Amino acid sequence: MRWGILATGGIAGAFTKDLLAHGHRVVAVGSRSLASARAFAATHGIPAAYGSYEELAADPDIDVIYIATPHNLHAGNAALALQNGKHVLVEKSFTVTQAEARSIVTLGEQRGLAVVEAMWTRFLPHMAYVREVIASGRLGEIRSLHADHTQHLPREDTHRLNNPQLAGGALLDLGIYPVSFAHDILGAPVDVDARATFTRTGVDASVATVLTHANSAVSTSFSSMETRGSNRATVLGTEGRLELADTWYAPTTVSLIDATNTLVETYDRPVSGRGMQFQAAEVERLIHEGVAGSPLMMPEESVAIMGTMDAIRAAIGLEYPGE
């Protein structure tokens, strides 16, 4: 598969580095600035550089485009790629709202193209282990899940994270991880509650969530861009628990502990690079096999997750400009 990279920020660089290090082919990069695109191309040895997203999307030599722009641009950028016949891997959060998510998934279905949310955690080997242990019944009935995502991030008012016009804040950048994890393990919630604190620019600085799922299972999370915490996660069942070490959403160690508080086994598989190559490999598999969505991150689940994010925003009173 021939990849195009849409945008040239830090996450685009990390993804491209993992792509190239693991044998994937990157043929072009696009930016709103030709100078930025050329600099990115030179850094990573990419043949073509474009000074607009439209030129990138129109390139006939590209099969799939990775969307790495700020959240508020995801829906428009993904639509541009799909309208030009390109499969898409769209950075999380998938969009800003559920309505945007639905529009992109519908467009992908209409065009017969793969649409995948780049929730890279879903595709990591240690998460496959977590799902296997749960499916085996070794934890008994799952009663709760807790996950934190806390970082000490830039506080300048002009930074994109603090800019409401760019849908900044902790929820879409950080909170999406534990919310997606809860969906993965417990399914969509039947009840949503949340509390938040805000920055002086009006975006959410921290968000705490309590989600109630089927069979009364509860997931909780705390996400903040003001302070770096342990970033651990726990899945608790009637017969044992799984503890995911720092940093739980990246390649890490997972401990299986039984109901007597005895360590049963530890999963600790080394992963080369950052680990973003696993999602790329899955996208390429889908394209080769002519499948629209990955069972690890189905398009409909991305829509459902954005519905939960909408409900969290409603609970904390967060609206973005233009809503």
Active-site positions read: 92
120 three-class SS: helix
**Amino acid identity, position 46:** I
Q: What region does 241 belong to: left with phi over 0, alpha with psi -120 to 50, or beta?
A: beta
The secondary structure element, H or E, covering residue 15 is helix 10-21
Helix (H), strand (E) at residue 180: helix 176-186
Q: What is the DSSP letter of 297?
A: B
Number of CB atoms found within 10 A of residue 67's CB? 26
Q: How many CB atoms lie within 10 A of CB 276?
A: 23
- Residue 235 gets the label, from left (phi > 0), alpha (psi -120 to 50) or beta, of beta
Amino acid at residue number 18: D
> Count of alpha carbons within 13 Å of 165, Cβ hemisphere only?
4
- Number of helices (H), then strands (E), belonging to the chain: the values are 10, 14
Report whether 167 contacts 136 (CB < 8 A): no
How many Å is the maximal CA-CA distance in the chain? 60
Report whether 286 contacts 145 (CB < 8 A).
Answer: no
d(CA 189, CA 165): 28
Report which secondary-structure segment, H or E, holds 283: helix 277-289
